[in-house]
Structure 1
Amino acid sequence: MKTKNKGLKFETEMAFRLREVFPNCRGSRFMGKYWLDSQKVDLTDTEPFYFQCKNLARSPAYHRILSEMPQNGHINVLLHKRGEKNTVAVLDFEDFLTLLKNGKGTK
């Protein structure tokens, strides 16, 4: 499967999974939100989070990608899938602490 198709499939899968928490979650390119897509935000209607999805064999440049996403009060999260391995969520440690303090870290 081509890299672009793998990426689109992964975005669609993540949007579907995130609808458990964000019922209106959709891909930004399909929702006509090109500004968000150009700002490295792949999934919309997930306030207070912005999500970037990467399905790559190698580890992406986490710090660079997170810093390129909008810095406007949202919590930026990079979702990364490597082959058949589990998907990981990467975010800034300060944002992680904020989630823990707000009780969003409870199961």
Structure 2
Amino acid sequence: MTELLVADETNFDQLVLRADKPVLVDFWAQWCPPCHQIVPILQQIAVERADRLTVVKVNSDENPAISSNYRVMALPTLMLFQHGELIWSVVGARPKAKLLKELDDALLTAV
């Protein structure tokens, strides 16, 4: 499986806010079972959509400033950024097909 990019307080701006393509950010924590359940789906999406989407993980416990800045209140929280702007977010794990549909809908409406 593909290793997902890891963002922290030192590289979040570069990896997410200054990215030249949309970025799906997974806010997670080690103690969160649904966070671990969604990892294989995110890895598949990272590979299948590598040409048009980047997937990044942020450990909320290790990066509280980022989580606080984006008001992450529950895990996992997925946020989609485009051109440095938050355009979509959702809380909780979901099946791959549903997640892809939601991502595609968010990207279409953000254009």
TM-score, scaled relative to structure 1: 0.34
Structure number with larger C-alpha Rg:
1
TM-score, scaled relative to structure 2: 0.34
Q: Which structure ranks higher in relative contact order (CA pairs < 8 Å, sequence separation ≥ 6)?
A: 2
